[in-house]
Amino acid sequence: MECSKLAIRMHRIHRETAPGEDENLSRDPAIQIANDLDAYWMPFTANRQFKNAPRLFVKAKGMHYFMADGREILDGTAGLWCVNAGHCRDEITAAVAAQAAELDYATAFQIGHPKAFELARRLAALAPGDLDHVFYVNSGSEAVETALKIAIAYHHVRGEPGRTRLIGRERGYHGVNFGGMSVGGIGNNRRQFGAGLAGVDHLPHTHDLEHNAFSRGQPQWGAHLADDLVRLIALHDASTIAAVIVEPMAGSTGVLVPPKGYLERLAEICHAHGILLIFDEVITGFGRLGAAFAAERFGVLPDLMTIAKGLTNAVIPMGAVLVREGVHDAFMKAPEATVELFHGYTYSGHPMACAAALATLDIYDNDGLFARAASLEAYWEDAVHRLDGAANVIDVRNIGIVAGIEFTSRDGKPGARAYDVFTKCLEIGALTRQAGEIIALSPPLIISEDEIDRLVAMVGEAIAATP
Ligand code: PXG
């Protein structure tokens, strides 16, 4: 059976027989499968389905992954929207190795280390407007929790402690912790976990195939959906609302591009009512939309911005919240010896993450990767829209170096068709990401035109082979 062969292979690659261990026993396939696959409870994965037909990456370089059976896979998703500069970049590897040997760890509480300050300055310079202050965390989910807490605490230090309500959006994804889950709007990510935070409401999402199917770039239709915030303000009163959080382009739910004028309108309403606007740029940051951040691309400045993923090219986990001057300064008015924010993590600003991030920012700079993404966008758009007429495809949408391809569902089996396209792509040689009945594409920004053609051709072939 395929599963046991792969398990044995993996076992041989990764696990020498320990001294004194019974060799015959360790070669028993049943034991090896249990050892190698069972113990690991995989995230966001159908564990039993996976373990019956495992897929294992063992190596990566540039635009490619390599599977346990030696096959080369074109990375159509930059890992999970995060390896923006391509895999195993020597400059980052070297920076991380040098940092591990020099200063492996430093507490972030009451003591600092130079690279944390250097990186904060670099990020402040890269971010638009006066998003000049940086709070470090270890993931996108922690960035979201932190941003929500800063927003509520901001109103507290300003003397409006009643502003605690948080507004998210249907189909939004803001990580998996309690705050992010609560403001998030993907049913599957919420329904097993109880009521979530109190005092949360949601805007409507912006996806409507009747009006915006097969859009190229920002859809013309849908700016008016931001006006729903006015309804929520009338309902709850602005004096109870701390913040609105949205992904400028919703990624995980399957690529929802903001309609023209939508984000502008949302920002206008927030600012008119003293509500902080948080952009969750965990996916859209670091060149994905052809600019450093989506805020820059769309010309809309949020009060807080969450980042992660591409910050370190995903080599070391790291996230951050970027904070505007006025929000930060509100905390700095208490006596000097005051701890302004009772919040932080053991690994906030970890030296190895800082080293990885600094090396990553150098690559983005030296290789001009954000501008490269912008200049590739038209080619990318034309390429992905070759799939417009493919079987069962009801939408293709794109922006930056991102695309979503949506399918009709089989009767009573939502998501099954896209899952089959995903597995077929992998068989053919391309990594894609399935979200419900959608396939999302978001390759590393180093992708060539030829590789774009190959990626789209493989997805097209997989769609054609999927009933
Ligand atoms: N915010 C956004 C907008 C994200 O996309 C997170 C927060 C959470 O980040 P962490 O680092 O805690 O995972 C994300 C994460 C997918 C997929 O299939 C996307 C994410 C995570 C897992 C799967 O598109 N994005």
Fold of the CATH domain 55-85+369-464: Aspartate Aminotransferase, domain 1 (3.90.1150)
Report the separation in Å between the CA atom of 265 and the middle of ligand 1, taken as the mean of its atom positions.
Answer: 25
Residue 180 exposure: Cα atoms within 13 Å on the Cβ side: 20
Among 45, 81, 278, say which to mutate for ligand 1: greatest number of ligand atoms within 8 Å of CB: 81
Amino acid sitting at position 284:
T
- pLDDT at residue number 31: 47
Ligand 1 atom closest to the CA of 284, numbered from 1: 3
Residues whose beta carbon lies within 6 Å of some atom of ligand 1:
80-81, 139-141, 144, 173-175, 247, 251-252, 280, 282-283, 308, 433, 435
- pLDDT at residue number 304: 98
CA 299/CA 297 separation, integer angstroms: 6
The token duo for 239 is 């004096």
Specify whether the CB–CB gap between 323 and 133 falls below 8 A: yes
Report the separation in Å between the CA atom of 280 and the middle of ligand 1, taken as the mean of its atom positions.
Answer: 10
The boundaries of every CATH 3.90.1150.10 domain in the chain are 55-85+369-464
The boundaries of every CATH 3.40.640.10 domain in the chain are 90-366
Report the separation in Å between the CA atom of 282 and the middle of ligand 1, taken as the mean of its atom positions.
Answer: 7
The token duo for 261 is 């004028």
- pLDDT at residue number 36: 81
Report the separation in Å between the CA atom of 173 and the middle of ligand 1, taken as the mean of its atom positions.
Answer: 7
- pLDDT at residue number 33: 52
Among 42, 44, 80, say which to mutate for ligand 1: greatest number of ligand atoms within 8 Å of CB: 80
- pLDDT at residue number 16: 39
CA 205/CA 201 separation, integer angstroms: 13
| CATH code assigned to 90-366 | 3.40.640.10
Report the separation in Å between the CA atom of 335 and the middle of ligand 1, taken as the mean of its atom positions.
Answer: 38
pLDDT in tens, the chain (467 residues): 344 444 444 444 443 333 444 444 445 555 455 458 999 999 999 999 999 999 999 999 999 999 988 999 999 999 999 999 999 999 999 999 999 999 999 999 999 999 999 999 999 999 999 999 999 999 999 999 999 999 999 999 999 999 999 999 999 999 999 999 999 999 999 999 999 999 999 999 999 999 999 999 999 999 999 999 999 999 999 999 999 999 999 999 999 999 999 999 999 999 999 999 999 999 999 999 999 999 999 999 999 999 999 999 999 999 999 999 999 999 999 999 999 999 999 999 999 999 999 999 999 999 999 999 999 999 999 999 999 999 999 999 999 999 999 999 999 999 999 999 999 999 999 999 999 999 999 999 999 999 999 999 999 999 999 99
